[in-house]
Amino acid sequence: MRRVLLALTISLAFAQPALAKERKTKPKPKPAAVVDQTAAAANAASAAALRYLDVIARLDDAPGGPQLNAVIVTNPQAPQEAARLASTGRLKGRTVLVKDNVETREWPTTAGSLALKDNMTGRDAPLVARIRADGGVVLGKTNLSEWANIRSNASSSGWSGVGGQTRNPHAIDRNPCGSSSGSGAAIAAGMAWAAVGTETDGSITCPASANGIVGFKPTVGLVSRTYVVPISHSQDTAGPMATSVADAALLLGAMAGSDPADKATAEADKYRTDFTAGLALSSLKGVRIGVLQKQSGRHPGVNRVFDRALSDLTAAGAVLVPIAYDMPPELGRDEGVVLYFELREDLNAYLTALPGNPPVRSLADVIRFNKDHANEELRWFGQETFIKADQPVDRATYEKARANSLRLAGPAGIDKLLADNKVVALIAPTEGPAWPIDLVTGDHFISVGAGTLAAVAGYPHLTVPMGDVEGLPVGLSFIGGKWTDKLVLELGAAYERARTVTLRAPGLKRWGE
């Protein structure tokens, strides 16, 4: 596991004002109680950061430990930074791990690929800059499914050439799901207060569900994508991953906002708010919620847990409306056309604009790099998705596919289901339980959930833990209309309070031990 230590150089300049001016401007001393409170906050924030670094050292890399491979680089100055920021902004020195396809100024941004192992841009993605400005401490960067799991359909989620295979802390021989696998595993294992993940379709919600934490994919355009290694400008977004809805909402408030370089965020400032406001008082009483029955799948364990969640929602006063909905097959077909087209266009633009002299400037370069480094990059699975994406579809076909997939997922999908059934949100299980890690034959998903609807439409999707199947967590999805992010978070927080199941702590052992 790679570790890069952040070296900080701090230079201080002192100026001696004139005595008369000093007498006029010298601040009054703070009351002792205020000083004590400030010092206590600084000490607490510093101690928390130190504790998280210790957890990473013990659980991520140490011989004899579970070796989760969730974190690829840490910031040893985090305790000092946390102390300094303990009274700053809304985050007040809290520690945040960042998925390694999001640029941070201290370290390379690799997307898990050896082709970008030295991609030191020296800049923060705007969402990271916002976190820092709001009092957040970047504790390190997390492993991920290489290239955000778009390289191959036969991949093992959580594997990258840079970081190796991430393990699920609830069962270390089980998959953490992708592509924000490191972020999900790290938060479940107690390695930071919260983490940043990214999603194109399922890459926040699936690892959150599989690792037993909260994950929120916001409306596309609420959070900037600038300096985030892209797949699709139509569907990509970053989002928070945390142990509670309130913490996810707090981090979202720091991340969100308009960015002139990302036109999708033009309305973000209009919808940016204190997403934590009212969460503690949100109620399910009388709230109509649509239950996507066919999207619960056929796994008996998942259905038992889902039934318990439905009972909890009903007991809390929610009015559950059963909905029989069939996902149109052309939705997935046209989403694929869009992702292939935009992957080539968007990744080429990102790589071409990188500072420095990276070995890859295009998707074609990445394909060649992987062939030249096949022992390291292609041992476990190939790059057939990359190869297909590099054979461009004509723009007219792409635009037709995008228009149709967006219509099916949005106006004819989520919007119609909400309106026809007079409900404010849709629910279903997020994903099935984690499958055994299988580098030889790849992932083994089961057919559960409706995340593709929210992903293609660009609408908010929250997953909240609702229990486990034989010790393997599963989440409950809340999906809402465009820009209803705060409402979706309120529903999730109300469900958290109504939930009667006891959530299991990660065992940090193999399943069944």
Query: For the chain, which residues make up each domain, given as ranges?
Result: 43-266+280-498
Lowest mean pLDDT among 27-31, 56-60, 115-119, 402-406: 27-31
Work out the end-to-end distance of the chain between its first and last CA atoms, rounded to an integer number of angstroms: 25
Cα–Cα dist 185/167, whole Å: 7
pLDDT at 7: 36
Question: Does 489 have pLDDT greater than 70?
Answer: yes
Residue 289's DSSP bridge partners are: 320, 425
Mean pLDDT estimate for the chain: 94
Which one-letter amino acid corresponds to residue 300? P
10 or 390: which leads in pLDDT: 390
Which one-letter amino acid corresponds to residue 401? A
pLDDT at 71: 98
Angle at 115 between CA 109 and CA 121, to 5 degrees: 30
Pair 292, 282: CB distance under 8 Å: no
pLDDT at 28: 65
* Model confidence pLDDT, tens digit, residues 448-459: 999 999 999 999
Out of 156, 160, 203, 232, the active site residue is 203
Can 99 be counted among the known catalytic residues? yes
pLDDT at 19: 26
* Model confidence pLDDT, tens digit, residues 5-34: 333 333 333 233 332 333 345 556 666 665
Identify the CA nearest to 185 among candidates 210, 160, 218, 163. Answer: 210
* Model confidence pLDDT, tens digit, residues 232-246: 999 999 999 999 999
pLDDT at 392: 79
Mean pLDDT of 280-306: 97
Can 203 be counted among the known catalytic residues? yes
pLDDT at 31: 67
pLDDT at 17: 32
- Which percentage of the chain shows pLDDT scores above 90? 92
Out of 179, 181, 183, 477, the active site residue is 179
pLDDT at 5: 35
pLDDT band for position 36 (50/70/90)? confident
Q: Answer yes or no: pTM beyond 0.85.
A: yes
Pair 210, 434: CB distance under 8 Å: yes
Spacing of C-alpha 401 from chain mean position: 27
Q: In what order do the strands lie in the sheet with 71-74?
A: 71-74, 137-142, 95-99, 194-199, 237-242, 214-217, 461-469, 472-479, 425-429, 288-292, 319-323
pLDDT at 362: 98
C-alpha distances in Å from residue 265, one per residue of 221, 225, 227, 261: 4, 9, 14, 9
Cα–Cα dist 185/169, whole Å: 6
Q: At a CB cut-off of 8 Å and minimum separation 6, what does 27 contact?
A: none
Out of 99, 141, 482, 486, the active site residue is 99
Just give the CATH number of 43-266+280-498. 3.90.1300.10
Question: Does 150 have pLDDT greater than 90?
Answer: yes
pLDDT at 393: 85
Question: Does 156 have pLDDT greater than 80?
Answer: yes
Instruction: Please report the sign of the dihedral spanned by the C-alpha atoms of residue 275, residue 273, residue 268, residue 121.
Output: negative
pLDDT at 29: 63
C-alpha distances in Å from residue 378, one per residue of 367, 466, 468: 10, 37, 34
